[in-house]
Amino acid sequence: MKVVIVGAGNVATHLAKALFERDHQVLQVWSKHEENALALAKAVDAVTIPSLENLELNADLCLVSVKDDAIAAVAEQLGGFKGIVAHTAGAVPLHIFDGKVNNYGVFYPLQTFSKAKDVDFRTIPLCLEANSSDSLNALREVAQTLSQTVREVNSDQRKILHLSAVFACNFVNHMYALADEMLKANNLDFKLIVPLIQETALKVVDNTPGLVQTGPAIRHDEETMVAHQQMLESHPQLLEIYKMVSNSIKNMEI
């Protein structure tokens, strides 16, 4: 497939590289951050273009991987595109393209990307949606060359997936960050809890998380929880998080 890429951030970069590795042709990269566009174009044997007016309208697929609130404005400029235009955002509905382009869809990789870290794209679920079965089939075809997990997911479900990912990824990382902060303040090395973090994540590969909950809250170990709260007294925000999440654990058990 001939693909053009709008955006050069983390998602655009990982997607473009995965497409390139699977022998798709990445023709052009555009980003308002010219340096990022140049770096990505170089990595996938593409060229950069100075403006969306220079977009190759006969490509098969235009992936729009820009900030959520910039997607509509980009779409306005893609009216002449002959292939399928797809955005890659979890929280943006399909209908953002209505009346702006002809064939369109969503190509949402459910993963967290960092520029510095490679990921195995085959393990990343690709959530697809499109305005027609032809567009959907075309998206599915390219998706299946990248990933072993391809799902059709409508806009409402994708919003739920995105929100659940905020809890299971963004909030989880913040829990790591809070732990790191506590450890650093006491001259303890975050590396000491890294095996625990890995095991906690591995445990839910084969288990329902609610059923493998551990810790003082699920044991109703009030003595330990009171001691923890005393330790957090000088950190009101941590204390509030401690109380609220502990209560939520206790309530879930019921």
Within positions 84 to 103, which residues make up the interface with its own copies, using CB under 8 A? 91
| Beta carbon nearer to its own copies, 47 or 178 | 178
Shortest distance, position 25 Cβ to its own copies, whole Å: 27
Interacting span for its own copies (CB under 8 A) from 44-52, 72-80, 135-143, 210-218: 210-218
d(CA 97, CA 99): 6
Under the binding rule (CB under 8 A), the answer on residue 70 touching its own copies is no
Element holding 87 (H helix, E strand):
strand 84-87
User: Is 54 or 164 the residue whose CB approaches its own copies more closely?
Assistant: 164
Within 10 A of 40 (CB to CB), how many other CB atoms are there? 25
Binding mask 13-42 for its own copies (x = CB under 8 A): ------------------------------
Torsion of CA 146, 148, 151, 156, to 10 degrees: -70
Q: Which is nearer to its own copies, 18 or 49 (CB)?
A: 18
> Does position 239 bind its own copies by CB under 8 A?
no
Q: Where are the beta strands (DSSP E) in 132-246?
A: 150-152
94 Cβ contact list (under 8 Å, min separation 6):
104, 105, 106, 129, 130, 131, 154, 155
Residues of span 142-161 touching its own copies by CB under 8 A: 149, 151, 153, 156-157, 159-161
Of the candidates 145, 143, 103, the residue with the CA atom closest to the CA atom of residue 127: 143
Does 226 help bind its own copies (rule: CB under 8 A)?
A: no
From 56-64, 77-85, 94-102, 236-244, span contacting its own copies (CB under 8 A): 236-244
DSSP one-letter code for 211: G
Task: Specify the pairing of strand 47-48 against strand 61-64.
Answer: unpaired
Give the contact letters, 172-191, x = binds to its own copies (CB under 8 A), - = no.
xxxxxxxxxxxx--xxx-x-
Q: Which of 114, 129, 133, 138 binds its own copies (CB under 8 A)?
A: 114
Contact 160, 168 (CB under 8 A): no
Site for its own copies contains 217 (CB under 8 A): yes
Nearest to 84 by CA among 144, 131, 147, 146: 131
Contact between 57 and its own copies per CB under 8 A = no
Least CB distance to its own copies at residue 107 (A): 15
102/155 with CB nearer its own copies = 155
Based on the shown chain and the rule CB under 8 A, indicate whether residue 136 belongs to the binding site for its own copies.
no
Q: Which amino acid is at 245?
A: V
